[in-house]
Amino acid sequence: MQFLSEFLEQAIACDLYRRTVTCDPVAPGHVRINGQTYLLLASNNYLGLTHHPELQQAAVKATLTYGTGSGGSRLTTGTHPLFDELEPALARFKETEAALVFNTGYMANLGVISALAGPDDVIFSDELNHASIIDGCRLSRAQTVIYRHADMADLHGLLQGTACRGKRLIVTDGVFSMDGDIAPLPVIAGLAEKYHALLIVDDAHATGVLGPGGQGTAAHFGIKHKVQVQIGTLSKALGAEGGFVAGSKELIEYIKNKARSFIFSTALAPATIAAALAALRQLSAGPDMVNKLSENANYVRSLLQAAGMPVPGGVTPIIPIMVGEAGAAVRLADELYKQGIIITAIRPPTVPCGTSRLRLTVITAHERDELRQAVEAITAKARQFGMVVG
The catalytic site residues sit at 177, 205, 236
> In angstroms, rounded to a whole number, what is the distance separating the alpha carbons of residues 331 and 218?
38
User: SS3 string of 279-312?
Assistant: HHHHHHHCCHHHHHHHHHHHHHHHHHHHCCCCCC
> In angstroms, rounded to a whole number, what is the distance separating the alpha carbons of residues 341 and 326?
19
User: Which has the closest alpha carbon to 103: 128, 132, 123?
Assistant: 132
> In angstroms, rounded to a whole number, what is the distance separating the alpha carbons of residues 318 and 363?
10
> In angstroms, rounded to a whole number, what is the distance separating the alpha carbons of residues 356 and 307?
20
Contact between residue 290 and residue 208 where contact means Cβ atoms under 8 Å apart = yes
- Region at 64 (left for phi over 0; alpha for psi -120 to 50; beta for the rest): alpha
- Write the DSSP string, 219-250: HHHT-GGG-SEEEEESSSTTSS--EEEEE-HH
Angle between helices 368-384 and 288-306 (to 10 degrees): 30
**b (16+ CB within 10 A) / e for 29-65:** bbbeeeeeebbbbbbbbbbbbbebeebbebbeebbee
Side chain identity, residue 110 = L
Query: What is the pairing mode between strands 356-361 and 344-346?
Result: antiparallel
Secondary structure letter of residue 175 according to DSSP:
B
Residues 6+ apart with CB under 8 A from 172: 125, 126, 129, 183, 185, 188, 200, 201, 202
> In angstroms, rounded to a whole number, what is the distance separating the alpha carbons of residues 209 and 220?
10
